[in-house]
Amino acid sequence: MSERGSLLPMAAGLVALCGVAVVGIIDSTDLALARTSLQSTADMAALVGAESFDPLTAKFDGTSLVVRLTNPQVRRAVRAFVAESQDGIRLIAASTPDSVTARVTVRCTWTPPIGNQFFPVRIQIEASASARPNIGVRSDER
């Protein structure tokens, strides 16, 4: 019995397996980068929301400056920030639970850059962040 040509199917299988592995690595790396980018956007949006207070309502309590955030102020500022990003990011929630902290949740849809022709996958990625205004901190206190 001749074994001529028996290596060809194994080599073809190995090439196909390597191709699948490369596509998987590229797609998973792109997903990780998209998640990191979305978290950065959520962090920046929370900072924008935290700085959306009305300076006329700030009060000095003897030791520090006290500011109060409101839900409409935070939502308005964060909505404008997210609209400027134009990365397919949607604002899910923007609020202030304690009038001092801005909480933001954003979402986007990720599609694989390579494997989407074979497996049309769409994954919803969500990120949340919180921030407080940085007021009255001297540079030597940081």
Check if the beta carbon of residue 92 is closer than 8 Å to that of residue 82.
no
For 49, the enclosing helix (H) or strand (E) is helix 7-50
Q: pLDDT of 34-79, one tens digit each?
A: 999 999 999 999 999 999 988 887 888 777 778 889 999 999 999 9
Asked if the model's pLDDT at residue 142 lies above 50, the reply is no
Other beta carbons within 10 Å of 85:
15
Using CA atoms, how far residue 29 sits from 7, 32, 118, 125, in Å, is 33, 5, 18, 14
Cα separation, 42 vs 63, in Å, equals: 31
> Rounded to whole angstroms, what are the CA distances from 103 to 7, 24, 44, 55, 131?
60, 34, 11, 20, 7
Q: Which pair of tokens denotes residue 128? A: 């949340």
Which secondary structure element, helix H or strand E, spans residue 104, and what is its range? strand 102-110
pTM assigned to the model: 0.80
d(CA 41, CA 81): 9
Which residue in the block uniquely carries the two structure tokens 């497996």? 119
Convert the pLDDT of each residue in 88-119 to its tens digit.
Answer: 899 999 999 998 999 999 999 998 888 666 67
Cα–Cα distance between 91 and 54 in angstroms, integer?
Answer: 22
pLDDT at 4: 67
Q: What is the pLDDT of residue 108?
A: 96
